[in-house]
Homo-oligomer: A and B are copies of this chain.
Amino acid sequence: MNKSRIEAFSDGVIAIIITIMVLELKVPHQADIHTLLPLVPVFLSYVLSFIMIGIYWNNHHHMFHAVSHVRGSVLWANLYLLFWLSLTPFTTAWMGENHIESVPVAVYGFVLMMSGIAYYILARSLIRLEGADSALAVAFGHDRKGKISVVIYAAAIGLAFLNPWIAIAGYVGVALMWLVPDRRVERVLLASTGGAHAPKD
């Protein structure tokens, strides 16, 4: 099966998710600069979620770049990932509107954690298809980064009830860890094709 449509559909869903979050920035009815103040936590939640979704899109891009074909099981694993990502606008808005309180922050982290697990499942289902000695499998390896992220999310969810800011620090930490996109795949691919500047790669 062709991978281009699953890429196009994922691009569409992720583009919508990342963009409709901005609709939660409710337009103030006054022109005063102070009316923007209550929007600051909503805005910061938006920035964090924009980066998170951006990371997922980048890694999704890298991962499918290394894939040659897909199967029905991959379509569903991909939809499962998109499902959890699609809940991000809701948890982002809830967290932002309530000025960083324990429950919304924990729920926000829960959706991030489930997205992380869904990404892992998707990667596994792609590696099963490509084979254990494929560029993708070598690049993905033990996915230490993915596993560490899930552990940090789980810890942060618990700690959110102690102090929501500790949890936020955990989420930001994971984001920073991933801001370097998944170069592993790129590196191995380049090595296997033997050139850094494949012209029409």
Q: Give A residues with C-beta under 8 Å from B.
A: 1-2, 5-9, 11-20, 22-25, 27-33, 36, 47, 50, 54, 57-58, 61-62, 65, 68-69, 71-72, 75-76, 79, 82-83, 86-87, 89-90, 93-94, 97-98, 101-104, 107, 179-181, 183, 186, 197-201
Let me know if A65 and B1 touch, CB within 8 A. yes
5 A-B pairs with least C-beta separation: A12-B15, A31-B101, A31-B98, A72-B181, A16-B19
Q: What B residues does A7 contact at CB under 8 A?
A: 5, 8
CB of A70 to closest CB in B, whole Å: 9
Given A19-B86, A79-B54, check contact A199 B31 (CB 8 Å): no
Whether the Cβ atoms of B5 and A13 lie closer than 8 Å is: no
Among B24, B30, B58, the residue within 8 A (CB) of A72 is B58
Q: How far is the CA of A87 from the CA of B5 in the complex (A)?
A: 23
| A181, chain B: closest CB distance, angstroms | 4
Q: A52 to chain B: closest CB distance in Å?
A: 11
Residues of B within 8 A of A18 (CB): 13, 82, 86
Known A58-B72, A75-B58, A198-B69; contact A89-B22, beta-carbon cutoff 8 A: yes
Determine the distance from Cα of A102 to Cα of B90 in the docked complex, in whole angstroms. 28
- Apart from the given pairs A5-B61, A31-B101, A68-B199, 5 other A-B contacts in the complex at a CB distance below 8 Å: A1-B65, A1-B201, A13-B15, A75-B181, A76-B181
Query: Contact between B12 and A90 (Cβ–Cβ < 8 Å)?
Result: no
CB distance from A130 to the nearest CB of B (A): 10
Q: For A72, what are the chain B residues with a Cβ–Cβ distance below 8 Å?
A: 58, 62, 180-181, 183, 186
Contact (A197, B69) CB under 8 Å given A86-B50, A93-B27: yes
